[in-house]
Amino acid sequence: MALIDTFLQRIVKQGTLTMTHHDGRTVHYGTPAEGFPHVAIRFADAGAANYVVSHPRLGAAEAFMDGRLLIEDGDILDLISLIRANGPWEKGGNLEIKNPLRRAASSAAERVSRFNWAAQSKRNVAHHYDLSDDLYALFLDADRQYSCAYFTHPDNSLEQAQADKKAHIAAKLHLKPGQRVLDIGCGWGGMALYLNRAADVDVLGITLSEEQLKVARARAEAAGVSDRVKFELIDYRDVQGRFDRIVSVGMFEHVGPPHYRDYFRKCHDLLTEDGVLLMHTIGRFGTPGTTDAFTRKYIFPGGYIPAVSEVVAASEQCRLLLSDMETLRLHYAMTIRHWYQRTVANREKIEALYDARFFRMWTFYLAGAIAAFESGGMGNHQYQFVRNRRALPITRDYIGATETLLAR
């Protein structure tokens, strides 16, 4: 029996998978089950199956990207979801490499990649965020919110959920007119522009992406608020001044554990005495882990998803008080499903921008992320920190009340 047969026989119990080897031999796995898909795959050459099973994450991705792993019934989302759903995080599911030497080498390489010094951070950001603006326009909402949305109802549109996310964050910041806000990792400027418009505050948005900076500045100019909403190409470690509020959405994933204390110390020093920091980040359930090889190589070099324990331990060293925390358990899966659907619908345009291999890589990335948030060990966390315990109301009622006002 081939290694791939043993691997899939062990993994696929619910739902069904049909695999056709390169020589035409067909094998079936699993049993039909409600909520689990049927998928049929085929290997195009003799070495593809062994490569996949030897490298369960990077190998499968590259075989799919290179056209060696073909999906004949269903799509890449169905395949990854089938595998992940058969071993959910809550039940101890784990697809880690079993070979201890390979696992040690992979972990060592991953630990080295976490050192995001300033120059390396800029290169890492450019790898992902300096892709064509046309690509992001094809699958994001009109405001280009490239982070977890907030679904007050599961049937809400992506645009509504992203608008609700901005309102949710603004409410937690407890803003007052005229305050000065720092937006660390401002993306294409949507959050900064929203906070200025909704709360009459001045915002400095910072990014390491030259492409995002161009778009953000143009948007501020077009809105006539470039005197109050400014954007700079600068590392957070080099920011000077004091701010009443700091917001960071989808940026902490790029800081790296060796720099967590530096990050929180810098935020502490930048905040006024009654300042508030709101950090919105992907989070790892359970204990600290590692970044998988596919994500590290192709999508987010230097990226790492923090466990709650890592965030809290680092912030405790810097005299920041964790005043509120919220876990968004399924919101990111719902968000990325919208992105995946829009990506698939725009296949021809994306392949025209890049090529078919890039399109397969991008769908593998989005499909893997959906499965990680639906069945794996990933969620989204919103942390609220203060320097002074009296900086915010003593109950959480103000958050909902402010959201209601912002929705009008």
**Looking at the domain assignment, is residue 111 inside a domain?**
no
* Contact status, residue 201 vs residue 212, Cβ threshold 8 Å: no
pTM of this structure: 0.90
What CATH number corresponds to the domain at position 354? 3.40.50.150
- Domain finish residue from 86, 105, 125: 86
**Looking at the domain assignment, is residue 98 inside a domain?**
no
Does 195 share its domain with 262? yes
pLDDT at 158 over 80: yes
Does 184 share its domain with 50? no
Does 60 share its domain with 123? no
The per-residue pLDDT for 126 is 57
- Give the separation between CA 229 and CA 221, rounded to whole angstroms: 9
Does 77 share its domain with 122? no
**Looking at the domain assignment, is residue 328 inside a domain?**
yes
Does 249 share its domain with 337? yes
Does 147 share its domain with 61? no
| Range in 4-8, 133-137, 305-309 the model is least confident about | 4-8
The per-residue pLDDT for 100 is 45
| Range in 122-131, 214-223, 229-238, 298-307 the model is least confident about | 122-131
pLDDT at 139 over 90: yes
Residue 134, domain extent: 116-407
**Looking at the domain assignment, is residue 109 inside a domain?**
no
**Looking at the domain assignment, is residue 52 inside a domain?**
yes
pLDDT at 127 over 70: no
| Range in 179-193, 289-303, 338-352 the model is least confident about | 289-303
Reported confidence tier of residue 7, pLDDT bands at 50, 70, 90? confident
Does 266 share its domain with 387? yes
Q: Count structural domains, the chain.
A: 2
pLDDT at 215 over 50: yes
Reported confidence tier of residue 407, pLDDT bands at 50, 70, 90? confident
Q: How much is the mean pLDDT over the chain? A: 91
Reported confidence tier of residue 61, pLDDT bands at 50, 70, 90? very high
The per-residue pLDDT for 54 is 83
**Looking at the domain assignment, is residue 108 inside a domain?**
no
Does 265 share its domain with 320? yes
Does 128 share its domain with 64? no
Q: What would the mean pLDDT of 174-189 be, rounded to a whole number?
A: 98
**Looking at the domain assignment, is residue 353 inside a domain?**
yes
**Looking at the domain assignment, is residue 254 inside a domain?**
yes
The per-residue pLDDT for 118 is 57
pLDDT at 358 over 70: yes
Does 44 share its domain with 121? no
| Range in 2-6, 37-41, 263-267, 375-379 the model is least confident about | 2-6
Does 229 share its domain with 301? yes
pLDDT at 107 over 80: no
Q: Which amino acid is at 364?
A: F
Does 77 share its domain with 158? no
Share of the chain above pLDDT 90, in %: 83
* Contact status, residue 373 vs residue 262, Cβ threshold 8 Å: no
